[in-house]
Amino acid sequence: MVFTAFVAKAQTIQIILGPDEVGENQSWTISVSIQNDRFKSHDYVFPDIPGFRKRGTSSQSQTNIINGQISSSQSVTMTYLPTKQGTFTVQAFKMTANGQTIFSPGKKVKVGPPVQNQRDPFANPYDPNDFFGRNSTEFVDIKDDAFLAITTSKSEVYVGEGFTTSLSFFVADKNRAPLQFYDLAKQLTNILKKIKPANCWEENFDIENVQAQSVMINGEYYDQYKLYEATFYPLNTKPIEFPSIGLQLIKFKVAKNPSFFGQNRKEDFKTFYSKPKTIKVKELPPHPLRDKVAVGDYRLDEKISSTALQTSQSFTYDFNIYGEGNISAIEKPQLMNDGSFEFYDPEVRQDINRQNGRVTGTKSFRYFIIPKEPGDYRMRDLVQWVYFNPSLKRYDTLIARSAVVVSGESMKNEAIESTDTGSLYDKIASADNNLRTSSDNRWVSLLLGGCVLAMLGGSAYLVFKK
């Protein structure tokens, strides 16, 4: 079943679905192919199918010259393996390639009992290999032009400075060895346990679909299959070491003398290994805030609800830090308040973008502030934020540029005036202001002393009586 999008006069893009029925021990495929061109940009996400599990993708390119006319094709195929018998529905889906969208309405696929590999009784009873005295096919291993690599954007960083790490599989355009990913999800689970350093904060780019991207290396074109990508931020000066990683792929051996009859390739396995890599981590230069500052390239965007203010009337001030770096590690700015304003704890919001090998974003601090004293003020004297810029190799400060004018009455004595005076001050107006000496209460002291003596006498009586 083929679904085609006509892109140009001599170029077509197709989605090709597998047969309507397969045995439980047979594979089923979905392919997307392009004629007379190559995939420059694509987003072909192969669907999940109930009753099947994905085995992996493979790619193939071919060029033909017939009567002087050149034609070419390139295809990417996802192989599915049945997990049980039954009839399963492949839902409608779409793919995008070279800016064109191709739709597939899906189909039903029946998975029957395992199929025995036996000769068709109605087929030609003579095997040409037997006729020429070749009872077995000879397979040869074609040298591959592919490699696995861990790449990093930097080889030396400061504590807190980010660097992007990728694990990719590269296949040269001139490669002729048939390769196919094998049990990739399970392998990556084990690989990532070895890659992720314990002394780093990680911002993962969350690659969900492994797709080919054309890159040039040493003057040659390669298809890069990026398997994992993240930006790491070292938490201390311990060197970051990435060990050699192994990835197993299916590598087919091909028949030495291929024919239209019999098997022309044989499944085999090969493990590709990456080279180990070490990142050196440097301590930040001396500074009183060295252990607290963020590291990155940042800018300030500030907003204020009003610059003409009244004492006791609140206003909002947004201190927005944006740029490239570990956005999650940004702490709130320093306040240098002399009592002229009352600051409340800020509302904090952050947005992080991970794309094109970079982590950028914004962290916003919204303050609610009440002016307490009239006058002219610069926000730079109230709010500042210090950070370390690794590109310039120095500390820098984001300084506010806003200024406000506060008018109205001073609120210095408001705290005293607003305090509840209690019942003592409420009785001042009605209280007697005549002076009295403390001797007026001498009889109270005599009465209390007599009570104490009586209690002591009673206690002595009870003791001696016993």
Q: Given a cut of 90, is residue 425 above it in pLDDT?
A: no
Q: Which residue type occupies 361?
A: G
Predicted confidence band of residue 326 (pLDDT cuts 50, 70, 90): very high
Strands 308-310 and 403-407: parallel
Residue 44 has pLDDT above 90, yes or no: no
pLDDT per residue as tens digits for the range 271-321: 999 999 999 999 999 999 999 999 999 999 999 999 999 999 999 999 999
**Alpha-carbon gap, residue 271 to 267, rounded angstroms:** 14
In angstroms, what CA-CA distances link 124 with 116, 119, 128?
A: 18, 9, 10
Query: Residue 241's pLDDT is what?
Result: 95
Task: Please spell the DSSP secondary structure of 165-202, one letter per residue.
Answer: EEEEEEEETT--S-EEE-SHHHHHHHHHHHHS-TTEEE
pTM for this predicted structure: 0.61
Q: Quick one: average pLDDT of 93-100?
A: 82
Query: What was the pLDDT predicted at 130?
Result: 41
3-state DSSP assignment of residue 10: coil
Instruction: Name which residue leads in pLDDT, 31 or 159.
Output: 159
The percent of residues in the chain predicted with pLDDT above 70, rounded, is: 79
Burial status of residue 282 (CB atoms within 10 A of its CB: 0-12, 13-18, 19 or more): middle
Query: How would residue 466 be classed by pLDDT, with cut points 50, 70 and 90?
Result: low
Contacts of 325 (CB under 8 A, 6+ apart): 161, 162, 294, 295, 296, 297, 298, 359
Confidence of residue 270 (pLDDT cuts 50, 70, 90): very high
Residues 330/331/332/338 CA torsion (nearest 10 deg): -130
Q: Which two tokens stand for residue 425?
A: 């001050």
| Burial tier of 260 (Cβ tally within 10 Å: 0-12, 13-18, 19+) | exposed
Mean pLDDT of all residues in 428-440? 56
CB-based burial of residue 294 (10 Å sphere; 0-12 exposed, 13-18 middle, 19+ buried)? buried
Burial of 160 (0-12, 13-18, 19+ CB in 10 A): buried
The answer to whether the beta carbons of residues 83 and 51 sit under 8 Å apart is yes
* Residues 339, 94: Cα–Cα separation, whole Å: 63
In this predicted structure, the answer to whether residue 450 has a pLDDT above a threshold of 80 is no
Q: Report the alpha-carbon distance of residue 35 to residue 74 in Å, rounded.
A: 7
